[in-house]
Structure 1
Amino acid sequence: MTRPHILYGLPHSLYTGPARAYLRKSGVAFVERSAREPEFRQQVMPAIGRSIIPVLVTPEGQIVQDSVDIIDHVEAAGTALSAYPESPRHLFLAHLFQLFGSQGLLRAAMHYRWSYYGAQGAFLDHAFGVSGAEDDPSRGAMRKMQSYLPGLGVRPDTIPLIEQGYHDLLAALEAHLSVHPYLLGGRPSIGDYGLFGPLFAHLGRDPVPADIMKRQAPATFRWIERLHAPDLDIPDMPNADGWLPGDATPETLEALVVEMGAEMGAELAAKLAWLEDHYQRLAPVDGDPVSAKPHQRTLGVTPSRYRGVPDEVGVQPYLLYMVQRTEAALAALKDADRAWADALLARSGLGCLGEARQARVDRRNHIEVWARP
């Protein structure tokens, strides 16, 4: 028998979720193993240079790290259910949703997980494998996760806005997913998988935010179930068939983009400006690592605004890696399509996408590096 792929991850991991869901939908034979297993520490970590998930190990021994790259690896090999839409407009939207899921929802996802630890501690302790011992290393991992909140802009004055933003996002998703099984019709795109990460692992699984979702947005919770199924799982929407026809962009879809802009637009512009300034001052050589250590995720902090409130947030170079993918899809749009996209971005407060900048991030040998033209 052919050996299966091995997906190293964890059930509650935000970035493992998209990879797992995509592999199931694509019919890829795989087994999922915990990143706590000795093989991960002894064989995978030395190869990738850091402890990070998800990681896919192919039957041939090739290692692919990051859910985005895992999806692209399978796509390159060929799949009957591609996650990349054929319409240029839909492809751009799919990348935009993937960017938002990867970056724009981190604040809400981490807030609802850790700010409500007192209300869902037993669930999280179980997820992280915490024992009764005070020196259990899992407790240290949880404390480290909690320490990220200030850098994500989670503070007493922003928490009410974060929670209102979550309710507003669920309302926008519910309006669309009550009519369509997936974002772009009857099949999932990279945009669905991108949003699935935080909306499943944190917001749709942890008790406090999951209860809100189930009560206020049942169609959104049903979308989560669909994405985790090995087939399309649309018996309740039997007339859905393939992508939305033509270049259709329903009002509910564009309203979702507007809500995304309200959540991350100002912060995205501030982070991109900080990264460009940092790049210009640093003047790196092509291939230089973006950070001093492979596991270092944040390069600095920048002042910003969150839903009108002054804010200060950490800047991760991985953001630029995701932005570049979205901007490539934007640059591929022509004439009326580009005019439509520019107008949508401007209306949504996401006009920073597509602006000229020299800073670029690539991934080589499993780490992010500066890339010069």
Structure 2
Amino acid sequence: MAEVYRIIGAEMSPYSVKVRSYFRYKAIPHQWVLRNAESQAEFEKCAKMPIIPLVVTPEGTGIQDSTPVIDAMEKLFPEPSVHPDDPVARFISALTEEFGDEWGNKWMFHYRWARDVDQISSAGRIARMRGPSADEEKHAAFAGQVRARMVDRVWFVGSNAVTAPQIEAGFVAMLDLLDAHLATRPYLFGGRPAYGDFGLWGQIYEMWTDPTAGALIGGGAPHVLDWVHRMLWPKAEGAFEFWPGLAPTLMPILQQQVGAQFMPWTCANEKALAEAKDEFSVTLADKIWTQKPQKYHARSLAMLRAKYAAAIDKTALDPVLEAAGCLAGLRG
């Protein structure tokens, strides 16, 4: 019998479904285990941090944080690779993965908890997941507690009265760009899912399950919607493309979303942490963005920079990153 991994996560966690999609694509034997009271003992035994997903190896070792999980599994299960052969596309895929995890999470968390309809839907689903047998009275009380706690945490991703319009305008613009890019290919980098697909998809899949963002995706971005469905059980439908074929529709995403918004934000966040600031402001696409620093993100930025530094031949890559507005930030 094949050795089986256990993914302890939740359907409403973008990082959990990201890892599950990857395991499905790689055909790695696994069990999907809901994080609840029944799995809590195993979680506490194997987890080093109180976050999901937790992947428990057949040997009983716990691995956490979705990006390191995928990196570890890719070494153990190298085929089919999720990294394009083209060195430019390969790094842009890694950059897209980081962008999805960190900037895409702002879209997801904001839309999930910004409006009554989304708060009610999300809190109710979380409460039912954690207490599937609760009667209606207990369910309603727990849902109310979840709603109050999560709405109070939107500041963590930078959602506030100043940034809310920027977050929503940025997502709507991204939908248009992404829909145009996916109009001629099933996945972001061609005929098969890449590293970047998993990171970006996890956030957008979660948004699709929520009322407000789901209506935007379902009603105005048919190619994105197809991709959302496709990535639930991804499979190779062709080869990876090379950068020249991807550039016409992927470069606008890099320039307008990654280079103009994510990269200056992440560098400003890093600087604020280094200077021990409680709050920072940065100009993104001609608008001031203000928020409290995100501590974890400085570590993921360092991981991305390490991947850039490890790229052996940057002759073709650096001009692309320079044109996208990302090169200086990646050099640190």
TM-score range, shorter chain: 0.7 to 0.9
- After TM superposition, the score normalised by the length of structure 2 is 0.88
Pick one of 210, 228, 233 that aligns with 1:206.
Answer: 210
Corresponding residue for residue 35 of structure 1:
35
Pick one of 177, 183, 191 that aligns with 1:186.
Answer: 191
1:344 and 2:323 aligned: yes
Q: Distance in 2 between matches of 1:192 and 1:119?
A: 25
- After TM superposition, the score normalised by the length of structure 1 is 0.79
Shift of 1:152: 2.7
Corresponding residue for residue 296 of structure 1:
none
Q: Match of 1:179, SS?
A: coil
The letter for the 2-side match of 1:23 is F
Q: Distance in 1 between matches of 2:78 and 2:144?
A: 40
Structure 1 residues 167 and 270, CA, compared in 2 at 3 Å: closer, same or farther?
A: same
Q: Match of 1:353, SS?
A: helix
Structure 1 residues 91 and 151, CA, compared in 2 at 3 Å: closer, same or farther?
A: same
Q: Match of 1:225, SS?
A: helix
Shift of 1:28: 1.0
The letter for the 1-side match of 2:80 is L
1:263 and 2:261 aligned: yes
Q: How many residues align?
A: 324
Q: Match of 1:315, SS?
A: coil
Contact 1:57 1:64 in 2 (8 A): yes
Contact 1:17 1:197 in 2 (8 A): yes
Structure 1 residues 153 and 317, CA, compared in 2 at 3 Å: closer, same or farther?
A: closer
Q: Match of 2:273, SS?
A: helix
Q: Distance in 2 between matches of 1:268 and 1:124?
A: 29
- CA RMSD after TM alignment: 2.4
Of all paired residues, the percent bearing the same amino acid is 23
Contact 2:127 2:142 in 1 (8 A): no
Contact 1:330 1:338 in 2 (8 A): no
Q: Distance in 1 between matches of 2:90 and 2:255?
A: 17
Shift of 1:33: 1.1
Corresponding residue for residue 91 of structure 2:
92
Alignment of 1:24-103 (within 5 A): 24-39=24-39, 41-103=40-102
1:167 and 2:145 aligned: no
Contact 2:9 2:54 in 1 (8 A): yes
Structure 1 residues 123 and 106, CA, compared in 2 at 3 Å: closer, same or farther?
A: closer
Contact 1:151 1:301 in 2 (8 A): no
> Structure 1: where are the runs of 5+ without partners?
235-240, 279-298, 357-373
Alignment of 1:1-373 (within 5 A): 1-39=1-39, 41-118=40-117, 121-122=120-121, 124-129=123-128, 132-133=137-138, 136-137=141-142, 139-201=144-206, 203-232=207-236, 241-245=238-242, 248-260=245-257, 261-278=259-276, 300-331=278-309, 332=311, 334=313, 336-346=315-325, 350-356=326-332
Task: For residues 231-260 of structure 1, give each alpha carbon's deviation from its aligned partner in whole angstroms, at most 9, with x where no partner exists.
Answer: 34x5xxxxxx21104764421011111122
Structure 1 residues 277 and 114, CA, compared in 2 at 3 Å: closer, same or farther?
A: same
